[in-house]
Amino acid sequence: MADIDRSLVRALPLFANMQDAELDRLLARATMRRVPMGEAVYEQGQKATQFFLLLHGRLKVTQVTPEGQQIIVRVVHPGDLFGFAQALQRNDYPGTPIAAAESLVICWPNEVWGSFVEQNPHLAVNAMRTIGQRLQEAHTRIREMSTQEVERRVAHAVLRLIEQAGKREPDGVRIDFPLTRQDVAEMTGTTLHTVSRLFSAWESQGIVKGGRQKLLVRDAERLQALADGLGHGP
Amino acid sequence: MADIDRSLVRALPLFANMQDAELDRLLARATMRRVPMGEAVYEQGQKATQFFLLLHGRLKVTQVTPEGQQIIVRVVHPGDLFGFAQALQRNDYPGTPIAAAESLVICWPNEVWGSFVEQNPHLAVNAMRTIGQRLQEAHTRIREMSTQEVERRVAHAVLRLIEQAGKREPDGVRIDFPLTRQDVAEMTGTTLHTVSRLFSAWESQGIVKGGRQKLLVRDAERLQALADGLGHGP
DNA sequence: ACCTCTCTTTGCGCCACCGCAAGGACAGCC
DNA sequence: GGCTGTCCTTGCGGTGGCGCAAAGAGAGGT
C-alpha cells in the first residue's frame, strides 16, 4: 500500500497543530479507500475494527429499525471523522454510512486511536467536542420533532444542509450532492410524499427550485422565516 | 465547607478503580448541595462553571424552545454525571435540570475536570462511554419518533423508566419518583391528553395502574409487546 | 433513439392525534 | 374542615400528514 500524501490532509483543522513528521507517522498506518456512489463503507452491526476520515464526497449514515424502516442519522461531510465506535466503547458500528456521491475515505485500525490521541492531545479534545456537537444536534432534532410541524422541520433540515454543503450559484445556493426527497424525508421523520408536496409548494412561491436529486435554494431568508414558524400567520 | 464523606460515593462504579486517597483529594474540591423538589440545579443558557454528580434523588433535564414549548431531554439518575458542558467545549449549559424529587448533588468547579481525568484515566474513558451512550439513546429516540406511532413510543419510554428507576412492589414495578403525565408527554413528543388516554386504556386492560404522579406497571410483558408493535395485529 | 430504472409529482380518502374545554380527584395548607 | 392549587380524565370536532395508487419526468445504458 503506497503511503498517503500528506498534502491531502494537511489543510484539515483536525490536524492543524500537528507536526509534519507526526502526521506522516499517522498516515503511514492508514489506508485509503474509494467508495463508489451507493456503496457502504461498513454495515450497521458489524464489528468495529477501524475508524475513518472522509476526505472527499458525502456519506449518509442510516439506521434501520427491526421492522425495516430506514432513517438518516446524519450526513458526513469532507473532513469529518466517522465510525469511531471504539472510542465510545462500542464494539459494533451503530449505523451504515452510504456514499451519496463518489467518496474517498482514510481508514485507521482501531489500535491507532490510542497513539492518535496521545501524539496530539488536541485531537482528543477535538473528538470530544465533535461528539458533544453531535449530541447537541440530536437533541435539537428531538426538540424539533417533538414540537414543530413538518414544514418547519423540513425547512430547518434544508437550511442546515445548505450551511454544511451549500455551493453558491448565480441565482441561489445549491446543495452540493445528490439528495432525493426520500433522503430528506428520512432526515426529518416524514414521508417522501409530504416532502415532495412541500418542495412543490415552495417552488411555486419561488423559494426553491427542485430537480431530480437536486435542490437550489433561491430565497434563504424566506425559508428561514418558514423555519422560524412564520409560515401561517404571526 | 465541611468535607464530603468518602463513603457516600465509594460504591459508585464511576470511582470503582480509584484509590481512597485520590478520591479524598477529589472530594476535597467538591461541594455538596441539596436541591428541593421543583428547583433547578442551574438554568439553560447559563455560563457553565461547574459539573455535577447526582447522589440522591432524580432530575428531569428540560429544554425550552424559543416559542416556550418544553421537552424533557433526559432523566438523571443517582450516580450519573451531568452538566459537564465544559468537557464538550461548550461554555453554557444546554438544558435545565429540575429536581423531580428532593435531590442531593455534588458540584465541582470546571477546572477540576482536568485533574479529574488525569488522576484516573479510567474516568475519561467512562465519561466518553457515557456520552456515547447518550448519543445512542438520542438516536434511538429520533428513530422511534420518526417511525413509530405514539402508543409504542410511550410504551418504550415507560419501559425505559422502570428499567432505570423501577422498584419492585407486591403486584408489579413502580416508577420510583413523581412523574406526571405531562412529563411523559414531554419525553415522548406528544400531549398530556394523549398520554392520559393511553394510560387509561392500559389500566382498563390491567397492564398498568396509575395515580397522581404515580405509575405502577403490572404486566411488563404486555407492555413490551405493545412497544414491539404487537398492539393491533401483527 | 429507445428502453428501463429510479425518482418525482399529485389526487384522494382516512385516521391518529391534537387542541379545546369542562369537570373531577387528590394533596397540602391555613 | 374547607379552600386552593395542581394534576388527571374524557368527550368532541378538526386536521395535518400518511398511505395508496397511478402517472409523469430525468438519467443512464445499449
According to DSSP, residue A117 is labeled: H
pLDDT band at B129 (very low <50, low <70, confident <90, very high): confident
pLDDT tens track for B142-170: 999 999 999 999 999 999 999 999 999 99
Residues B125 and B191 in one domain: no
A205 and A178 in a common domain: yes
Task: Name residue B32's amino acid.
Answer: M
Q: Give me B137's grid cell.
A: 439513546
Is residue B109 assigned to a domain?
yes
B87 inside 8 A of chain A by CB: yes
Which residue, A124, A144, A164, sits at the end of a domain?
A144
Rounded CA-CA distance B57/B63 in Å is: 20
Whether A139 sits inside 8 A of B67 (CB atoms) is no
User: Can you tell me which residue has the cell 435531590?
Assistant: B103
Residue type, A9: V
8 Å CB contact of A147 and B87 = no
Please state whether the predicted TM-score (pTM) of the whole model is above 0.85. Answer: yes
For chain B, say whether A129 makes contact (Cβ under 8 Å).
Answer: yes
- Residue the block writes with cell 414491539: B228
Question: Do B124 and B166 reside in the same domain of the chain?
Answer: no
Q: Strand C positions with any atom < 7 Å from protein CB?
A: 7-11, 16-21, 26-27
Percent of chain B with pLDDT over 90: 71
> Could you tell me if residue A197 is inside a domain?
yes
The answer to whether position B234 is within a domain reads: no
The residue out of B144, B160, B195 marking a domain boundary is B144
Q: Assess if residue B1 is contained within a domain.
A: no
Are both A112 and A50 inside the same structural domain? yes
Q: Are residues B85 and B108 in the same domain?
A: yes
Q: In terms of residue numbers, what domain contains B134?
A: 6-144
Is the domain of B163 the same as that of B178?
yes
Question: Is the pLDDT confidence value at A234 over 60?
Answer: no
Nucleic strand D under 7 Å from the C-beta of B192? yes
> Is residue A154 a part of any domain in this protein?
yes
Q: Are A98 and A63 in contact (CB under 8 A)?
A: no
Nucleotide nearest to A192 (CA to C1'): C8
Q: Which of B212, B147, B209, B44 minimizes the C-alpha distance to A65?
A: B147
Structural domain contains residue A178? yes
Question: A18-32, A33-47, A105-119, B65-79: lowest mean pLDDT where?
Answer: A105-119
**B111 plus B60 within the same structural domain:** yes
CB proximity list for A96: less than 8 A, separation 6 or greater:
A40, A42, A43, A44, A61, A62, A63, A64
On the question of pLDDT at B233 being above 80, the answer is no
CATH number, residue B27: 2.60.120.10
The answer on B133 and B31 residing in a single domain is yes
Distance of CA B157 to the CA centre of its chain: 12
Q: Residue A55 domain-assigned?
A: yes
Domain total in chain B: 2
B-proximal residues of A, 45-64, CB under 8 Å: 63
pLDDT in tens, B1-41: 557 888 889 988 888 778 888 889 889 999 999 999 999 99
pLDDT digits (tens, 9 = 90+) for A52-88: 999 999 999 999 998 889 999 999 999 999 998 877 8
- Is the minimum CB–CB distance between A121 and chain B shorter than 8 Å? no
Question: Could you say which of B114, B144, B174 is where a domain stops?
Answer: B144
A121 and A42, same structural domain? Answer: yes
Q: Residue B233 domain-assigned?
A: no
Same-domain status, A195 and A119: no
Q: Where are the alpha helices (DSSP H) in A97-207?
A: 112-119, 121-147, 150-165, 181-188, 192-204
Residues A123 and A13 in one domain: yes
Residues B85 and B156 in one domain: no
pLDDT at A231 exceeding the cut of 80:
no
Q: Which residue has the higher pLDDT, B16 or A197?
A: A197
Strands annotated E in chain B:
31-35, 50-64, 70-76, 81-82, 96-109, 166-169, 172-175, 208-211, 214-217
Cβ(A8)–Cβ(A15) under 8 Å? no
